[in-house]
Chains A and B, each alone.
Chain A
Amino acid sequence: MKALRVYIVDDDAAVRQALSLLLSTCGMTVETFADPETFLAHVDTARPGCLLIDLRMPLVSGLQLKAALAARGIDWPTIMMTGHGDVNACRRAFKAGILDFLTKPVDEQVLLDALAAAGKVLEEVLERQETHALLATLTEREREVMDMVCRGWASKEIAAALAVSPRTIDAHRANIAEKLGTSSVADLVRMSLAAPVATPPSR
Chain B
Amino acid sequence: MSRRIFAFRSIAVLVLVWIGAVGGFALLSIRSATQHAGEELNAAGVALHRIVSQRVAQHDAHLTSLAALVQSADPPPREAVRQVALAIMRFYPRIVSVRIVAPGAAGPGEILVAAPDGALAMPLPAFTAGVFAQAPGEARAYADPAVPGRYFLGKRAGAPGRPLAMIVEIDPALLVEGEERPEATRLRLELGGHALVDRAAAGPPGRAALETLRFERAVDSQTQPLRLSLDRSLAFAQGVTPGPVLLFAVLSLVGLLALRYTLRQRRDASRSRAVAREAQERSLLLERETRLAHASRVNALGELASGIAHELTQPLTALLSQSQAALRLVAPGGDAQRLDEALRANVREAKRAGEMLQRMRDYISNRATARIPSDINAVIVDAAALARTDLAQRGIRLELELERALPQAVVDPIELEQVLHNLIRNAVDSLDGTAQAEKMIVIGTGTGGGQVVIRVSDTGPGIPPAVLPRLFEPFFTTKADGMGLGLSLCATLVERAGGSIRADAGAMAGAAFVIVLPAAAARMEAAQ
- Indicate if A3 sits at the interface (CB-CB under 8 A): no
**A22, B321: Cβ atoms under 8 Å?**
yes
**A18, B322: Cβ atoms under 8 Å?**
yes
- Contact flags A4-43 to B (C-beta < 8 A → 1, else 0): 0000000010110111011011100000000000000000
- Indicate if A200 sits at the interface (CB-CB under 8 A): no
- Indicate if B315 sits at the interface (CB-CB under 8 A): yes
**A21, B393: Cβ atoms under 8 Å?**
no
Name the residue on A nearest B396 (C-beta): A58
Chain A nearest Cβ from B319, distance in angstroms: 7
Contacts of B320 in A (CB 8 A): 18, 105-108
CB within 8 Å: A-B pair count: 92
- Indicate if B35 sits at the interface (CB-CB under 8 A): no
Pick from B312, B328, B345, B392: contact of A18, CB below 8 A.
Answer: B345
CB interface residues, B 340-372, toward A, < 8 Å: 341-342, 345, 348-349, 352
- Indicate if B299 sits at the interface (CB-CB under 8 A): no
**A14, B349: Cβ atoms under 8 Å?**
yes
**B318, A12: Cβ atoms under 8 Å?**
yes
- Indicate if A128 sits at the interface (CB-CB under 8 A): no
Contacts of A57 in B (CB 8 A): 392
**A21, B321: Cβ atoms under 8 Å?**
yes
**B314, A14: Cβ atoms under 8 Å?**
yes
**B310, A26: Cβ atoms under 8 Å?**
no
Chain B nearest Cβ from A162, distance in angstroms: 57
CA distance A19 to B309 in the complex (A): 19
**A108, B316: Cβ atoms under 8 Å?**
no
**B316, A104: Cβ atoms under 8 Å?**
yes
Pick from A25, A56, A60, A105: contact of B328, CB below 8 A.
Answer: A25
CB interface residues, B 306-337, toward A, < 8 Å: 306, 309-322, 324-325, 328-329
Pick from B313, B342, B394: contact of A83, CB below 8 A.
Answer: B313
CA distance A15 to B319 in the complex (A): 8
- Indicate if B264 sits at the interface (CB-CB under 8 A): no
CA distance A24 to B345 in the complex (A): 16
Pick from A14, A24, A81, A104: contact of B352, CB below 8 A.
Answer: A14
Contacts of B31 in A (CB 8 A): none
**A58, B313: Cβ atoms under 8 Å?**
no
**A21, B338: Cβ atoms under 8 Å?**
yes
Contacts of B312 in A (CB 8 A): 83
**B392, A14: Cβ atoms under 8 Å?**
no
**A14, B345: Cβ atoms under 8 Å?**
yes
Pick from B315, B325, B348, B389: contact of A56, CB below 8 A.
Answer: B389
Knowing A21-B338, A57-B392, A58-B395, the reply to whether A12 touches B324 (Cβ < 8 A) is: no
CA distance A106 to B318 in the complex (A): 9
User: Would you list the 3 A-B pairs with minimal beta carbon distance, nearest first?
Assistant: A83-B310, A18-B318, A22-B325
Q: Which residues of A are at the interface with B, using a C-beta cutoff of 8 A? A: 12, 14-15, 17-19, 21-22, 24-26, 56-58, 60, 81-84, 104-108, 111
